[in-house]
Amino acid sequence: MNPIAEELNGVIQNSNPNTYDMLSNKGKQLYFPRGILSQGAEAKEKAFRYNATIGIATEGGVPMHLPSVMSSINVDPEQSLNYAPSFGVLRLRETWRTNIFDKNPSLSGKAVSLPIVTNGITHGLSVTADMWIDEGDVILLPDKIWGNYNLIFTVLHGAKIRQYPLFSSQRGFNLNAFEDALQKQALDTKKIVVLLNFPNNPTGYTPTSAEGKRIQEILINVAEKGNNVLVLTDDAYFGLFYDDTSMKESLFALLTESHPKIMTIKLDGATKETYVWGLRVGFITYGTLAKDNPSDIYDALEKKTAGAVRGSISNDSHLSQSVILGALNSENYPKEKEEKFRVMLQRVRRVKEVLANKKYSDVWEVYPFNSGYFMCLGLKTVDPEALRVHLLDKYGVGIISLGKSDIRVAFSCVEEEDITELFDIIYQGIKDVEKAAGM
Binding site for ligand PLP (CB under 6 A): 120-122, 146, 197, 201, 234, 236, 269, 271, 277, 282
Closest of 403, 398, 394, 402 to residue 428, by C-alpha: 394
Give the burial string for 177-209 (b: 16+ CB within 10 Å, else e): bbbebbeebbeeeebbbbbbbbbbbbbbbbbbe
Give phi and psi for 371, each to the nearest 5. Answer: -165, 170
Instruction: Supply the minimum distance, in Å, between the C-beta of residue 411 and ligand PLP.
Output: 14
Instruction: Supply the minimum distance, in Å, between the C-beta of residue 374 and ligand PLP.
Output: 8
Q: In this complex, which beta carbon is closest to ligand PLP, that of residue 19 or of residue 122?
A: 122
Instruction: Supply the minimum distance, in Å, between the C-beta of residue 287 and ligand PLP.
Output: 19
DSSP string, 283-339: EEEEE---SS-HHHHHHHHHHHHHHHHHTTTSS--HHHHHHHHHHHT-TTHHHHHHH
Give phi and psi for 78, each to the nearest 5. Answer: -65, -40
Instruction: Supply the minimum distance, in Å, between the C-beta of residue 110 and ligand PLP.
Output: 24
85: cis peptide before it, omega within 30°? no
Q: In this complex, which beta carbon is closest to ligand PLP, that of residue 234 or of residue 406?
A: 234
Q: In this complex, which beta carbon is closest to ligand PLP, that of residue 261 or of residue 280?
A: 280
Q: In this complex, which beta carbon is closest to ligand PLP, that of residue 271 or of residue 322?
A: 271
Please give the single-letter amino acid code of residue 405: S
Closest of 110, 85, 92 to residue 324, by C-alpha: 92
Q: In this complex, which beta carbon is closest to ligand PLP, that of residue 28 or of residue 93?
A: 93
Instruction: Supply the minimum distance, in Å, between the C-beta of residue 177 and ligand PLP.
Output: 20
Residues 6+ apart with CB under 8 A from 341: 239, 240
Report the C-alpha gap between 429 and 409 in whole angstroms. Answer: 14
Instruction: Supply the minimum distance, in Å, between the C-beta of residue 274 and ligand PLP.
Output: 11
Q: In this complex, which beta carbon is closest to ligand PLP, that of residue 23 or of residue 232?
A: 232
Q: Is the dihedral of CA 139, 144, 150, 153 positive or negative?
A: negative
Q: In this complex, which beta carbon is closest to ligand PLP, that of residue 197 or of residue 246?
A: 197
Q: In this complex, which beta carbon is closest to ligand PLP, that of residue 179 or of residue 234?
A: 234
Q: Is 117 helix (H, G, I), strand (E, B) or coil?
A: strand
Instruction: Supply the minimum distance, in Å, between the C-beta of residue 251 and ligand PLP.
Output: 14
Residues 6+ apart with CB under 8 A from 46: none
Report the C-alpha gap between 139 and 125 in whole angstroms. Answer: 13
Instruction: Supply the minimum distance, in Å, between the C-beta of residue 270 and ligand PLP.
Output: 8
Closest of 80, 75, 77, 42 to residue 58, by C-alpha: 77
Report the C-alpha gap between 262 and 5 in whole angstroms. Answer: 23
**Residue nearest ligand PLP, Cβ-based:** 120
Q: In this complex, which beta carbon is closest to ligand PLP, that of residue 124 or of residue 429?
A: 124
User: What is the bridge-based pairing of β-strands 282-287 and 364-366?
Assistant: unpaired
Instruction: Supply the minimum distance, in Å, between the C-beta of residue 30 and ligand PLP.
Output: 21
Q: In this complex, which beta carbon is closest to ligand PLP, that of residue 12 or of residue 194?
A: 194
Q: In this complex, which beta carbon is closest to ligand PLP, that of residue 125 or of residue 219?
A: 125
Instruction: Supply the minimum distance, in Å, between the C-beta of residue 421 and ligand PLP.
Output: 26
Report the C-alpha gap between 347 and 417 in whole angstroms. Answer: 8
Instruction: Supply the minimum distance, in Å, between the C-beta of residue 418 and ligand PLP.
Output: 22
CA dist list (Å): 388 to 57, 427, 430: 52, 12, 10
